[in-house]
Structure 1
Amino acid sequence: MKLATPRWWYVRDLPARRGGMPVSRVVLTPISWIWAAVTARRIARAEPFDPGVPVICVGNLTLGGAGKTPVVRALAERLAARGCKVHLLSRGYGGRLEGPVRVDPTRHASADVGDEPLMLARDFPVWVARDRAAGAKAAAQGGAEVIVMDDGHQNPSVKKALSLVVVDGETRHDEWPFGDGRVFPAGPMREPLAAGLARADAALILLPADLSAVEPELVRALNGPPLLVAHLAAAAPPPEGPQVGFAGVGKPWKVERALQAAGCDLADFAPFADHATYDEATLKRLADRAQQFGAGLVTTEKDWVRLPSSWQARVTPWPVRAEFDDPAALDAFLAKAGL
């Protein structure tokens, strides 16, 4: 059973807002200390494998959706435009194959390799591997001149030429990307903020399309590595007419807001846990709900690839892309790895 991302993770000063420390956070805090200590020890003791080609890691400091996958695609497109043979590497979360295996969209399903690799494999060579070092070796042997690794900032098994951490720039609606700064499971952090930033070559603040400026306090919080800024933009307009939306991503409420900001006539919206599996009963309930409103069904590309083929024609995928505000700053970042 997949659990939805707790929204309270991302509320700053939660005890003050709720009149005291939530019981769940009190109980979970000692576990978070153990999590942080184990992560730090694993990173300190690792001997990273060098695949012989540059590896650019697009990572995250938090659990939940910060927007890594659109950034992976944008980086791959930038590198490919320069003539680089870029391959992507993923753990293949949600897929049954341990790998290393190159994703074949004509042969594999999301249940085999995970939703994000399957989505990206339509445009780039993608490898999935539980063992990242083995996956990087396979990609290099398969012809990669540069590897973009989706996630893995806390995985020390592969030598990284560059490490970019993606930070959710949405700071409205009483949300803060790091919550109170507590480590999982008491909060959204994968490790303490300072420790994660110390290993990063740059931090990318990813803003929603309707938010033009970065919150100055967020810039101050990320003091240390160079900062890049990008916007999450719609690659196509949302479907016309009333729609019932649904999404099983890290922060499904952001998909709802993005659809509304893009002008979608959103009659209703259903959130699901990240990488949720949509069975026939769930999809029929969504279709019945849409019928009540005389609406269509819309979801993210990532969710759409997880749908049974019999349902894909009945649901519209809504694609989004990461667009860098300053491409020259991105090029300067890539130049650090000789790219």
Structure 2
Amino acid sequence: MPAPAFWNTGPARRSWQAHLLRPLGAIYAGATARRLRKGHPHRADIPVICVGNLNVGGTGKTPTAMALAMALGDGVGIVSRGHGGQLTGPVKVDPNQMTAGDVGDEPLLLSAFAQVWIGRARDEAVQLAETDGDLKVIILDDGFQNPFVHKDLSIIVVDAQTGFGNGLCLPAGPLREPVAAGLARADLVLSIGDETAQDRFSETWGNQVTVPRLTGHLAPLQTGMDWTGLPVMAFAGIGRPAKFFQTLRTLGVDLRDTRALEDHQPLTPALMTRLEAEAKAKGAQLVTTEKDAVRLPAEFRPKVLTVPVRLQIHDWDPLQARLTKLGL
């Protein structure tokens, strides 16, 4: 289900729906605060870097975890919840034996960049990673509000275009906790978006960001594919499918139709057969994201093109200074 439009109006233009639901948002924020106070976090013997957010939905955590894993090199482990998978963990992801149906799409995608462990109890997954892998650092994919894992470095990832929405907590807004409370525990904020979006974030939220801020953008990975003029029907089951469709437009495709699916939605053979028929009727090539591609049924993988994107961080220095303090 797409997020309600009134979530992303900005704090200065909150709708009547947001004001009506605001007391429920306060209750949600209070419950989050109580859960954080009651936690007894496991402290790993190696640094744990949390890539989290304050918003629900897609903000760019997975590309950020990829970028960190590539920058840190050997000895990196990633711990994820494994959303959408049947296995509850803790278990190490084996991309040769496991599917997205087993461990979730994001862990399977991340396993191309580092060793990955999943577990709904993330403290147990962290402990397994410590003993199971020869690691120098663990990247905690999501889990900023999880009180059971100690974080040595916490990075809040935010979409620069939408920012922190209307600044209210669920269900009045998109936040898991208030901005001030979240940033009080964070070390860095990473806003992801183009220059216009970054300016908008600065104008709306800049005075509330109390920690060093990084900026970055997602760029299509250069694979040698010439997308210009290619008739395309695009589908995506990610947090914000519209961002992917806009990426295709910037590549110059002839975007004939789009399908925005639910985040992590299973790509069943029946669904893919229907999408294939619709694309054929439009004379278009099916195209999707990397995260969706790992959920494709085997028989459809040769039929669907993928557009991989990578995070480009504009200035690594504030992050590198923190990593150096951790001995990385």
TM-score exceeds 0.5? yes
Identity %: 42
Measure the CA separation in 2 of the matches of 1:8 and 1:212: 19
- 1:118-197 correspondence runs (5 A): 118-142=108-132, 143-170=134-161, 176-197=162-183
| Aligned residues of 2:154 and 2:186 also touching (Cα < 8 A) | yes
Secondary structure of residue in 2 paired with 1:228 = strand
Measure the CA separation in 2 of the matches of 1:8 and 1:315: 34
| Aligned residues of 2:218 and 2:312 also touching (Cα < 8 A) | yes
Instruction: Render the CA deviation track for 1:12-34: whole Å, top value 9, x for unaligned.
Output: 26967xxx613xx4664333222
Secondary structure of residue in 1 paired with 2:300 = helix
- Cα RMSD of the aligned pairs, angstroms, is 1.9
Partner in structure 1 of residue 259 of structure 2: 270
List alignment gaps of at least 5 residues for structure 2.
none
Per-residue deviation, 1:4: 3.1
Measure the CA separation in 1 of the matches of 2:197 and 2:142: 26
| Aligned residues of 1:99 and 1:128 also touching (Cα < 8 A) | yes
Partner in structure 1 of residue 29 of structure 2: 36
Partner in structure 2 of residue 250 of structure 1: 239
| Aligned residues of 2:233 and 2:257 also touching (Cα < 8 A) | yes
| Aligned residues of 1:5 and 1:250 also touching (Cα < 8 A) | no
Secondary structure of residue in 1 paired with 2:95 = coil
Per-residue deviation, 1:291: 1.2
Pairing 1:94–2:84 present = yes
Secondary structure of residue in 2 paired with 1:214 = helix
Per-residue deviation, 1:144: 1.6
Instruction: Render the CA deviation track for 1:279-305: whole Å, top value 9, x for unaligned.
Output: 233222211221122110000000111
Measure the CA separation in 1 of the matches of 2:226 and 2:171: 35
| Letter matched to residue 16 of structure 2 | M
Measure the CA separation in 2 of the matches of 1:162 and 1:268: 41
Measure the CA separation in 2 of the matches of 1:47 and 1:238: 52
- Normalized against structure 1, the TM-score is what? 0.90
Per-residue deviation, 1:234: 0.6
| Letter matched to residue 153 of structure 1 | F
Per-residue deviation, 1:64: 1.2
Residue 120 to residue 316, structure 1, CA distance change in 2 (3 Å): same
- Normalized against structure 2, the TM-score is what? 0.93
| Letter matched to residue 10 of structure 1 | N
Secondary structure of residue in 2 paired with 1:245 = strand
Secondary structure of residue in 1 paired with 2:16 = coil
Instruction: Render the CA deviation track for 1:221-278: whole Å, top value 9, x for unaligned.
Output: 4420101111111113574511000111111111111211222221111101111112
Secondary structure of residue in 2 paired with 1:58 = strand
Instruction: Render the CA deviation track for 1:148-187: whole Å, top value 9, x for unaligned.
Output: 01001111211111000001112xxxxx322211101221
Measure the CA separation in 2 of the matches of 1:316 and 1:234: 13
| Aligned residues of 2:227 and 2:251 also touching (Cα < 8 A) | no
Measure the CA separation in 1 of the matches of 2:277 and 2:65: 36
List alignment gaps of at least 5 residues for structure 1.
171-175
Per-residue deviation, 1:111: 0.9
| Aligned residues of 1:86 and 1:147 also touching (Cα < 8 A) | yes
Match of 1:70 among 42, 63, 67: 63
Partner in structure 2 of residue 334 of structure 1: 323
Pairing 1:21–2:41 present = no
Residue 148 to residue 13, structure 1, CA distance change in 2 (3 Å): closer
Partner in structure 2 of residue 117 of structure 1: 107
Partner in structure 1 of residue 309 of structure 2: 320
| Aligned residues of 2:92 and 2:116 also touching (Cα < 8 A) | yes
| Letter matched to residue 270 of structure 1 | R
Measure the CA separation in 2 of the matches of 1:238 and 1:273: 29
| Aligned residues of 1:278 and 1:307 also touching (Cα < 8 A) | yes
Match of 1:214 among 194, 199, 202: 199
Secondary structure of residue in 2 paired with 1:270 = strand
Match of 2:49 among 35, 48, 56: 56
| Aligned residues of 1:238 and 1:263 also touching (Cα < 8 A) | no
